Amino acid sequence: MEDARRRVPRTDAVLGDPALAPALARLGRPRVKAAVTAAQAACREGRLAPDEVVAAVLADLPAAPVSMRRVLNATGVVVHTNLGRAPLSAAAVEALALAAGATDVELDLETGLRGRRGAAALAALAAAVPDAGGVHVVNNGAAALALVTCALAAGREVVVSRGELVEIGDGFRIPELMESLGARLREVGTTNRVRREDYERAVGDRTAFVLKVHPSNFRVEGFTSAVPVEGLQGLGVPVVADIGSGLLAPHPRLPDEPDAATTLRAGADLVTASGDKLLGGPQAGLLLGEAGLVQRLRRHPFARALRVDKLTLAALEATLTGPVPPVAAALATRPEELLERARRLAAAIGAPAEAVVSQGHVGGGGAPGVPLPSAAVALPHRLAAPLRHGSPAIVGHVHDGRLLLDLLALPPDDDHTVAHGVRRLLAHDAEGGR
């Protein structure tokens, strides 16, 4: 006992071990020191050999800086809400790291005076949508609508089609948000049909604006009619269009998905959208439109409560000015390329993996019901859970009794990680079976 106590490694010696350097940098000295003290106690009591102390400290410390796990998105859903919507581009990730320290987000380094917050990100957004007289960025799409409602429609009426009273997900309903901020919704038309005359009859002294909401997660088919933004001109009140997805310009593969430029040109006074759907950037709410209206929103007291942080501004600027973000890259990939990748991946995994054609989707971000031709690697469905439990987690989807690892939303650089993860599981299976 006496002997073991003398052999307990000293705190400084353990803390100086190179193996603990990354943990010290990441977690700080007090946290690591607490783990060292615990391991020394175990050593003193004979539960741990002196040369096991460093390993015990490492085992006691969290392996990653956060408990959020990295996920390889093999679901075939490009903008997956449960996986954090749009993955950021490498440029945006670098921008995040750079902005994490002190930055000139609100300082003009030229003059040394206070500068306009996030001026570069706003300029990039304005440059991307020249039809917008003014632009502003808030926390998310819901915040953009909330600011418009607060600034323009508190105690007044918003005219909206019954077919556009949308619930986005997780119980978030656009009409309830607007009513909670003191606007009264004046519903026009029916679930499936609305005409310009319906809007004309409803607009009056109390109308703050007419709202168009893009049904971004459902489709009404059959006997339907809606009034496009063009058809809502000349009613004497502003037209606000919530386009949802954040497409700034038309996308050739998504012809029915509204975009900011076209919507503004059609006569919308304000457009609201999310930053982390088809735009492929960070969570943000974009407001674009008539300069005077945007200025009113920006100056409204509530705007401060919806303000975005420097990290969002940095990532948004990099998304807008940098190389094509992953969401756009996924949408630009041809199905033949995906099938070729699936064949290579299936070959790298070996039996029973098989390349198959599949069908992907944009997801919660827009283009409901539009199938995106894709390709996948098919595997026995019993692998779904163990792959999901791995690190990184690999999340596919089960179709016709098989697990499909769809390549549409998976960056090609991650193929070898998937191959490795699946091979290891299969090898483990084979050993267990013997």
Ligand X SMILES: *Cc1c(COP(=O)(O)O)cnc(C)c1O
- Closest approach of ligand X to the CB of residue 285, in Å: 6
* Smallest distance from ligand X to CB 96, Å: 18
241 or 318, CB closer to ligand X?
241
| Cβ 262 to ligand X shortest distance, Å | 16
By beta-carbon proximity to ligand X, the closer residue of 43 and 271 is 271
Instruction: Tell the smallest beta-carbon distance from residue 141 to ligand X (Å).
Output: 2
Q: Specify whether the CB–CB gap between 131 and 265 falls below 8 A.
A: yes
Backbone Cα Rg of the chain:
27
Minimum CB distance to ligand X, residue 140 (Å): 3
Q: Token pair 């002294």 is at which residue?
A: 205
Q: What are the respective helix, strand and coil percentages of the chain, to the nearest 5?
A: 45, 20, 35
Compute the least distance from the CB of residue 417 to ligand X, in Å.
29
Rounded least distance, CB 324 to ligand X, Å: 21
Cβ atoms of 177 and 146 closer than 8 Å: yes
Nearer to ligand X, 14 or 308 (CB): 308
Compare residues 26 and 219 and give the one whose CB is closer to ligand X. Answer: 219
What is the CA 352 to chain-centroid distance, rounded? 34
Place of tokens 């690697």: 377
For residue 14, the minimal CB distance to ligand X (Å) is: 47
Judged by CB, which is closer to ligand X: 157, or 242?
Answer: 242
Nearest 10 degrees: Cα torsion 372, 375, 381, 384: -80
Query: For residues 273 and 244, is the Cβ–Cβ distance under 8 A?
Result: yes
Exposed / middle / buried, residue 391 (Cβ in 10 Å: 0-12, 13-18, 19+): exposed
377 vs 216, 326, 354, 398, 401, CA distance in Å?
A: 29, 20, 5, 11, 13
Residue 286 sits at φ, ψ, to 5 deg, of: -100, 135
Minimal distance in Å, beta carbon 312 to ligand X? 12
139 versus 207: smaller Cβ distance to ligand X:
139
Instruction: Please compute, for residue 423, the number of CA atoms within 13 A of its CA located in the half-sphere on the CB side.
Output: 12
Q: Which residue minimizes CB distance to ligand X? A: 141
Task: Determine phi and psi for 253, rounding to 5 degrees.
Answer: -85, -10
Q: Which is nearer to ligand X, 142 or 408 (CB)?
A: 142
Nearest to 255 by CA among 370, 155, 356, 169: 370
Beta bridge partners of 244: 273
Residues ≥6 apart with Cβ < 8 Å to 147: 138, 285, 287, 297, 300, 302, 303, 306
Task: Give start and end residues of each alpha helix (H) in 105-256.
Answer: 119-128, 141-153, 174-180, 196-202
In whole angstroms, the minimum distance from the beta carbon of 170 to ligand X comes to: 9
The smaller minimum CB distance to ligand X, of residues 211 and 342, is found at: 211
Rank residues 39 and 306 by Cβ distance to ligand X and give the closer one.
306
Nearer to ligand X, 142 or 376 (CB): 142
List contacts with ligand X (CB under 6 A).
140-142, 168, 213-214, 216, 242, 244, 274, 285
